[in-house]
Structure 1
Amino acid sequence: MRHAAVAVLATGTLLLTAGCSSGDGSGSAAGVGHLPSPSRPSPAASGPSASPSASVALPPAKGSVEVVSTLAEGLESPWGLAELPGGDLLVSSRDKGTITRIDGKSGRKTLLGAVPGVSPGGEGGLLGIAVSPTYGSDHLVYAYFTTESDNRIARMQYDENGTTPGRLLGAPDTILRGIPKGSVHNGGRIAFGPDHMLYAGTGETGDAGLAQDKKSLAGKILRMTPDGQPLHGNPEADSVVYSYGHRNVQGLAWDGQKQLWASEFGQDTRDELNRIEPGGNYGWPEVEGKAGKPGFIDPVAQWKTSEASPSGIAFAKGSIWMAGLQGERLWRIPLSGKESLAAPQSFLKGKYGRLRTVLAAGGNKLWLVTSNTDTRGTPKPGDDRILVLKVR
C-alpha cells in the first residue's frame, strides 16, 4: 500500500482516490465519476488565511460546561458526526459501516444505509464523515473508511426524498484511495475548511517512518479539492500532503481567525494539540510533545497520554474543545491568537466514559459523542449517546 500511495502522488494522476481507537468501495477510479462536482470558490494558495485582529475578544481563562440533554442514545461504535442544513445530524458507525440521521430536536434515528466496501477491524472501519459545503445543491456526503486494502475517501449522494430506510445512499464515488491502513493508527477525521477544500487526518499505521516520508499519505494532514485532487498551492506541487510528521491525527477544527488546529495521539509520553502550518513538520517519530528541536513544530498544548488520548475537536466561545478517550474527559483550551491563553481545563471526568467526537452546534452549544461500545470501553445502559452541551 505504501508503494501504491507513492506512485499515486508521484504521477499526480486522476487515480488519486482513496485514535488509538482502530471490500473495495465501488465508484469511479478517477474519483470524478458520475456525481456532480460541488461548485466552489477558487482556493487560496496555501489554505485558509489567518487574519488575527487585536479587537478579537479573548475567552476567559476559566470556562464552564453544562450538560443540557441527551439527544440520542443506543448508538453502536459511533465515530464521525456531521451537521446537515437545518440542524439534523449524521453519525457513522465504525464497526457496522453505516450512517444514521439523527433528528436535531427529537433524536429520532433514521438509517441511511451501509457504505459498501467498509472492512472493520482494530481501529479501522467507517470513520469520519463530512457534508459538502454545497450540500443544498448536490446532497453529497463524504466518508473516510477502511477497506480490505487501504483507507480511502468517497462521496455519496443522500436521497432525502427516499422512502426506504437503509437504502438512502447512492453508490460511493471514490475521490482518494491508497491511504495506508493498519490495525492501529488509521487517522480518519475529515472536514471542509473555510476555503471549501477537504482536509483529512491520517495515521502512520504503526509504521513510524511513514510520518516523515512526504511521498506517503500516512501520518499526514491532507488538503484536496472536493473532487480529491491536489491543489497547486499546497506545499508540494501535485500532492495532497499539507503537513507531515504526525503519529495519528484524530481531530480537525478552525478557529475564528481561520487557523487550523489538530489533535494527535502521542505514544507513551505526550498527546498533542497542534496549530497547523502548511508544510510544517510535527516531529513524529523524532520527537513527541514539546522538544524545542530545530526543524520541528512544537504543540501548543500537551497532555499525559493517560489524561487525554485525544479524539475530535471543535472551536466554540474562543476555545478549542477536545474529546478524550482514555482520559474520559472534555478538555477546554482557551486561545489567544496562535497560542493558548491559559492552562487546559477538564470537564466531565469519568462521568460519561470515553469521549470520541465533539462538534460545534452554534453559539455556546456543542454536541458530544461518547465511545464506550468500541470494544475498549465499558458500556452502560444507553451507550453510546450524543449529548448536548452549553459551554463558555
Structure 2
Amino acid sequence: MTERRSIPLTRPLIGEAEAEASRRPIMSGWLTQGPEVAAFEQEFAAYTGAAHATAVSNCTTALHLALLVLGVGSGDEVITVSHSYVATANVVRYCNATPVFVDIDPATSNMDASQIEAAITPRTKAILCVHQMGLPCDLAAILAVAKAHGLPVVEDAACASGSEISWNGQWEKVGKAHGDIACFSFHPRKVITTGDGGMITTNNPDYDRQFRLLRQHGMSVNDRVRHSANQVIFEEHAVIGYNYRMTDVQAAIGREQLKRLPGIVEARRHLGSRYVQLLADLPGFTMPHEPEWARTNWQSFWVRLPEHLDQRTVMQGMLDRGVATRRGIMNAHREVPYQREGGYNLPESERAQDRNIILPLYPQMTDEEQDYVVAMLSEVCA
C-alpha cells in the first residue's frame, strides 16, 4: 500500500536570502517608495526586456491603472475573457466600463482570438487578454485584430513571470511588452512573490509617467526626489490618484525572488513535462497544449477529467489521500455581479471550469511527490 503523504497545491520558494534582504529597508528606515522599489523596477524591466517597469501594490491595481491610462471610462467596452480570476473583469467595472466576454481555446485555456472580431463594437476601447496559468496566449493573432481596428492591448500576465514567446524568430519574455501594457502579480500563489505586489511594464514613456503619478495619489513629486532635494519642495495633486504603492520591504524581497526566477521556471518546466509523460497513459484525460511558439512557466498544471467522472468527487478523493487540488479556473460571468438575462454563450469556458482540475506543482516538488499525485489520481479515477 502506498504511504499517505500531504502535498499542497503550491508552495513559494522563499528563504534566508529574502529574509536578509528585508533587513535592508527595515534598518535603513526607508520603508516605501524608496531605493529598493526603484532597483526592483529597473531589474524587472531588464529581465523582461521592457523599456519601463512600475511597481504597484498588486496585479489588480496594475490592471486598473493600465485601463485608466488607456482612457477606458463610462460607456466603453473592453473585450476580455470570463475564464480568469474575477479581478480581470472587475478592473473593467472599476472604470465604469463593460467587459465583453469571448470564449477560450480549450487546448490552452486562453482567449480564442478568432472570436474577437465579432465582439468589436463602436464602444470597444481595448482588448484585455490573459496569459492563463502562465501559458502565453496567442498574442500574434490578438495583436493582428487589434491593429486592424486601432485598439490597444493589455496583457494580464499575472501568472506569466518567466514565460516566453517566440517573436520575430527570437524567444522573448512575456512582458516586453508585446502589447501596449503588461501587468504581473507577485501573490504567494504566483511563480515569484513579494507577499503581495504587482508590476506594470510598457515601452511607452508617457504611460509609464502616468502610472507613477496615479499610483501615488497623483502627487507631482515622488518621495525620492523630495527627500534628496536641498531645497524645500511643495508637491501638488493635480489629478485624482490612488494609493497603489509597493513597499521597499516587498521590493527587497522581490529582487531576491527575481534572481531565483530562472531556476524556478526550469524546475516548473521539468515538472510540467513529467506530468505530461506520467498522465499520458490515463485513458480519457486531456492535458494543456503548449504551442510551439510558447514556453510556459507552468504556474499551474491542469488536467481535464473524462466525461464520466465527477469533478467534486475526484477532488475529494484526492484530498482524502493528502493531495490538494483546485477546480478549473473560475468564470466571472457565473458570479452574481456579471450574470445577465439570457446568459452568455461561453461553452468552452464553462467546460474548463467544470471539467478541469489543477494539480500540485511547485519548484521544491520532488519526482517522488509527483509520482504519488499521479498514482492517487489514477486510483481515485479507477
Q: Normalised by the shorter chain, which TM-score bucket?
A: under 0.3
Give the strand-richer structure, 1 or 2: 1
Output the TM-score relative to the length of structure 1.
Answer: 0.27
Give the helix-richer structure, 1 or 2: 2
Output the TM-score relative to the length of structure 2.
Answer: 0.27
Larger radius of gyration: 2
| Higher RCO by CA contacts (8 Å cutoff, separation 6 or greater) | 2
